[in-house]
Amino acid sequence: FRRIELDPKSKDELVEMGAAFNDMITLLERNYEKQEQFVSNASHELKTPITIIESYASLLKRRGLDRPELFHESVEAIHSEAVRMKELTEQLLLLARNRDEWQVKMEDVDLVELCEASAGAFRSAYHREVQVRSDQGAVYGWTDRQRLRQLLFIFLDNARKYSEEAVTVDIQTAGGQASIRITDRGIGIPKEELPYVFDRFYRVDEARSRKGGAGLGLSLAKDIAEAIEAELELDSLPGVGTTAVIRLKLAE
């Protein structure tokens, strides 16, 4: 917001100031509503894993000693819900943080090396096959290493959640740009849903939601892409699979 000097010289100027003031109030109201919605959605998303953890913990307290078969199931559930909550809070913290504090550091980054390293970390975390392909040994892009890694992880994670087979990452260059394509052969996204999947907390359907996340990954991806001057594209066909494309400027 820009502060204005309140010194109207005529009735017209006063009317103009009144209108500007009203516009500002509308904007503030809208932002406040968005904020409220965000907090309410976030609390709702956190409540589900907490409720599950609480009920399994209470089951363990009551029956854990005399029903050892319950032990394994409960500990598994508590662990996976705790992991889910940890991921969710990390996403929420990033989204809530002021963009100026993201500390973007643009530099020349070898995209092939970065994709190989991210795929390696992904393989060991999730035991899922990821193939990295490039027609060149090294492709230098102008980007922020840390943020691009985060972006790759969001798309790799979705590919893992919504498909069963190996995921591929292709690095190509064309017209002064580099592109990174993350492709899965999974359930895909219906065409009419594509415009919404980048919205905060949006999920294609509730049935997928226990397997998936809170609908925050892609909205975070959009923010990150903006911060590192990258373009995103999502192509998908239900039953065939999804390709996410990250386009970056090539290093000079």
Contact footprint for ligand ADP (CB under 6 A): 158-159, 161-162, 184, 186-189, 197, 202-204, 208, 212-219, 242
Residue 140 or 217 with smaller CB distance to ligand ADP: 217
User: In terms of CB distance, is 56 or 198 closer to ligand ADP?
Assistant: 198
Residue closest to ligand ADP when measured from CB atoms:
213
CB 169 within 8 A of CB 131: yes
Q: Looking at beta carbons only, is 49 or 186 nearer to ligand ADP?
A: 186
In the complex, the smallest distance separating the C-beta of residue 160 from ligand ADP, rounded to whole angstroms, is 9
Cβ proximity to ligand ADP: between 47 and 208 the closer is 208
Find the shortest distance in angstroms from Cβ 90 to ligand ADP: 12
Least distance from C-beta 79 to ligand ADP, angstroms? Answer: 19
Please say which residue, 109 or 197, places its beta carbon nearer to ligand ADP.
197
Question: Which tokens go with 188?
Answer: 């895909």
**C-alpha distances in Å from residue 164, one per residue of 185, 198, 244:** 8, 23, 17
Name the helix (H) or strand (E) containing 95: helix 68-96
- Cα angle for residues 44, 157, 88 (degrees, 5° grid): 25
Mind giving me the DSSP string for 13-57? HHHHHHHHHHHHHHHHHHHHHHHHHHHHHHHHHHHHHHHHHHHHH
Cβ 137 to ligand ADP shortest distance, Å: 28
Least Å from the CB of residue 163 to ligand ADP:
7
Structure tokens at 5: 């000097």
